[in-house]
């Protein structure tokens, strides 16, 4: 049985959430919209149009969306040559690959952003496939991106774990029927991740890597016997 290790990217494997916050804030400011950075932060992880619906009100500014999205992309694109990976992100992907997991990136980023993010992570040798916003008709929190990731890994939902940093990730994973792991490095509180469906929460990729044998990855069926029980996760 194939096992799928599904990963969000922004805020999960790369320390880029606040770069998106700043880019969206400036794009919105230039268009005359006063939106608090805190509110933008809580919307990060949604696809661009859904993010703008969430921040500006569904459908009220549709004529501006292309301009706002282009402004965000231009601003965020200035960081492409220096996007910071999170500590041990590449090592985590490689260790899961070494253990036989099919690693799939499941992101709301578009393909041109994903290329820059993959360069930052620098673990292409461990990545089986990628599912970007360009590959599905409906993004997170709909289950479509996660289900597409499962298809790419040729793995069933009960044999998969999805790691993310936002409530949108946790909701998408839960709706797709996979075990969800939350990371705090994206800036979303533990309680919010757990309420949205996280089975366990860790500080960052390094914390998850250090406790991999006690994580939901140790609970996932392998097809060669019963899953091993994982211990209760400790507060970071």
Task: Report the SS3 class of residue 13.
Answer: coil
> Per-residue pLDDT tens for 88-106?
999 999 999 999 999 999 9
- Beta-strand runs (E) in the chain: 4-7, 102-106, 127-131, 160-164, 179-183, 200-202
Q: Are the C-beta atoms of residues 61 and 77 closer than 8 Å to each other?
A: no
Say if residue 229's pLDDT is above 60.
no
Q: What is the mean pLDDT of the chain?
A: 92
Please state the separation of Cα 23 from the chain's center in Å: 18
Task: Report the SS3 class of residue 119.
Answer: helix
Q: Are the C-beta atoms of residues 172 and 108 closer than 8 Å to each other?
A: no
142 Cβ neighbours under 8 A, 6+ residues apart? 136, 172, 175
Domains present along the chain, CATH in parentheses: 4-15+85-218 (3.40.50.1000), 17-78 (1.10.150)
R_g over Cα of the chain: 17
191 Cβ neighbours under 8 A, 6+ residues apart? none
Half-sphere exposure of 51 (CA within 13 A, CB side): 27
The maximal CA–CA distance of the chain, rounded, in angstroms, is 59
Say if residue 77's pLDDT is above 50.
yes
Structure tokens at 117: 């993010």
Average pLDDT over residues 192-219: 97
Q: Which of 122, 121, 151 is nearest to 2 (CA)?
A: 151
* H helix count then E strand count, the chain: 10, 6
> Per-residue pLDDT tens for 170-199?
999 999 999 999 999 999 999 999 999 999
Q: What is the DSSP string of 140-183?
A: TTSSHHHHHHHHHHT--GGGEEEEESSHHHHHHHHHHT-EEEEE
Report how far apart the first and last C-alpha atoms of the chain are (Å, whole number).
Answer: 32
CA separation for the pair 99, 226 (Å, rounded)? 17
Say if residue 220's pLDDT is above 70.
yes
Give the CA distances from residue 178 to residues 4, 84, 212, 233, in Å, rounded to whole numbers and listed in that order: 10, 28, 17, 18
Q: What's the whole-model pTM score? A: 0.92
Q: How confident is the model at residue 226 (pLDDT cuts 50, 70, 90)?
A: very low
> Per-residue pLDDT tens for 59-76?
667 889 999 999 999 999
CA separation for the pair 18, 74 (Å, rounded)? 16
pLDDT number for residue 59: 63
What are residue 105's DSSP bridge partners?
Answer: 7, 130
Structure tokens at 112: 């041109």
> Per-residue pLDDT tens for 9-56?
999 999 999 999 999 999 999 999 999 999 999 999 999 999 999 999
């Amino acid at each position: 049985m194939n096992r799928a290790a599904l990963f969000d990217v922004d805020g999960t494997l790369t320390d880029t959430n606040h770069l998106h916050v700043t880019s969206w804030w400036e794009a919105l400011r230039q268009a005359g919209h006063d939106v608090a950075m805190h509110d933008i932060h809580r919307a990060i992880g949604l696809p661009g149009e859904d993010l703008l619906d969430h921040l500006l009100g569904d459908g009220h500014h549709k004529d501006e969306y292309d301009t706002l999205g282009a402004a965000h992309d231009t601003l965020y694109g200035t960081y492409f040559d220096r996007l910071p990976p999170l500590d041990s992100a590449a090592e985590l992907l490689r260790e899961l690959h070494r253990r036989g997991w099919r690693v799939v990136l499941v992101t709301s980023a578009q393909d041109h952003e994903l290329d820059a993010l993959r360069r930052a992570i620098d673990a292409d040798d461990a990545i089986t496939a990628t599912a970007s916003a360009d590959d599905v008709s409906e993004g997170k929190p709909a289950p479509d991106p996660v289900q597409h990731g499962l298809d790419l890994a040729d793995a069933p939902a009960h044999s998969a774990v999805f790691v993310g940093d936002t409530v949108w990730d946790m909701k998408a994973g839960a709706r797709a029927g996979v075990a969800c792991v939350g990371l705090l490095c994206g800036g979303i509180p533990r309680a919010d991740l757990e309420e949205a469906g996280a089975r366990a929460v860790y500080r960052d990729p390094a914390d998850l890597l250090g406790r991999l044998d006690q994580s939901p990855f140790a609970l996932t069926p392998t097809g060669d016997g019963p899953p091993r029980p994982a211990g209760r996760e400790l507060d970071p």
